[in-house]
């Protein structure tokens, strides 16, 4: 019996989520590197805001994709 290599799977939306978080931070004049130099309270607020923004946008993208699938009668 052949053994298969165990390859960790990445969340398919992880790359998009990271890009959305980067977008949120960029609009606020920083990136992940500069956020690390902020005071703890400000850093936390920025990262929480970025995560919430990404989650909202991902939900919107999922809803739009479901709508398009429903319009075309395609299975999800």
The torsion angles phi and psi of 75, rounded to 5 degrees, stand at -70, 150
In DSSP notation, 13-31 reads THHHHHHHHHHHHHHTT--
Domain that holds residue 64: 14-72
- Position 29 in a domain: yes
Number of domains forming the structure of the chain: 1
5 in a domain, yes or no? Answer: no
22-52 pLDDT per residue, tens: 999 999 999 989 999 999 999 999 999 999 9
Among 4-18, 37-51, 57-71, the range with the most confident prediction by mean pLDDT is: 37-51
In a domain, 1, yes or no: no
**pLDDT attached to residue 69:** 85
The verdict on residue 3 lying in a domain is: no
């Amino acid at each position: 019996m052949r053994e298969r290599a165990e390859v960790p799977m990445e969340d398919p939306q992880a790359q998009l989520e990271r890009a959305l978080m980067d977008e949120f931070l960029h609009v606020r004049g920083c990136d992940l590197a500069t956020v690390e130099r902020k005071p703890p309270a400000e850093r936390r607020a920025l990262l929480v805001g970025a995560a919430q923004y990404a989650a909202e946008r991902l939900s919107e993208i999922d809803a739009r994709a479901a709508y398009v699938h429903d319009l075309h009668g395609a299975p999800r």
